[in-house]
Amino acid sequence: MPEPQRARPKATPETKDFWDGVQAGELRLQKCNKCSKTYFPPRPFCPGCGHREVTSFKASGKGFLYSYVIHHRPVPGFTPPYSIAVVELEEGPRMMTNIVDCPQTPEALQLDMKVQVKFEKIDDKTTLPLFVPAKG
């Protein structure tokens, strides 16, 4: 039997554009054509006003560390301790992710520190938007 692996997301018709974007190295968000609200996760209408015309766009991939835990228990595909974080994107929405390429310690992971998206290829089919501490 193969070793249990990291959970893979499976796109739906409404989220396919987001995952296609990640595969292409773009973090895509959606914005309402009527009230201009930017939101996440993707859906083909605005959760602010219910308007059905929305536009997908490439986000900056920049944000800050809103909150996190450092998980110490075993999970398939992860080596504890590892961070599970929520970042707030420059455009407003928040998303869950992992902060990688830095020590997984409270000292290295400071709330409000700037972070930048890093597209991590998990396998041929799956790439995930992870985040790293922003340079400079």
Partner 1 sequence: MRRNQVAVVGAAETTKLGVIPDVSQIQLHADAALNAIADAGLTIKDIDGFATAVEQPQQICHYLGITPTWVDNTSVGGCSFMIHVRHAAAAIEAGLCKTVLITHAESGKSNIGRTPRGVAPDSLNGQFELPYGVAGPPSMFTIPVLRYLKTHGITQEQMAMVSVVQREWAGKNPRATMKDPITVADVLNSRMIAYPMRILQCCLVTDGGGALILTSADRAKDFKTKPVYILGTGESVETPMVSQMETFNSSRAFKVAGPLAFQEAGITHKDVNHLMIYDAFAHLPLYGLGDLGFMPHEETGKFIADGNTRPGGKLPLNTNGGGLSYMHSGMYGMYALQESVRQMRGTAAAQVPNAKISVCHGVGGMFAASGTVIFTNQR
Residue 36's Cα: distance from chain center in Å?
Answer: 21
User: Min. distance of Cβ 71 from partner 1 in angstroms?
Assistant: 5
Applying CB under 8 A, which of residues 4, 25, 41, 103 lies at the interface with partner 1?
41
**Bridging pattern class, strands 54-58 and 114-121:** unpaired
Residue 12 to residues 18, 42, 50, Cα–Cα distance (Å): 10, 10, 20
Applying CB under 8 A, which of residues 57, 64, 82, 119 lies at the interface with partner 1?
82
Report the run of H or E that residue 116 belongs to, with start and end. Answer: strand 114-121
Region from 29-37, 48-56, 74-82 binding partner 1, contact rule CB under 8 A: 74-82
**Complex with partner 1: residue 36 or 105, whichever CB lies closer:** 105
Question: Among residue numbers 106 through 125, which ones bind partner 1 (CB under 8 A)?
Answer: 106, 111, 122
- For residue 11, the one-letter residue type is A
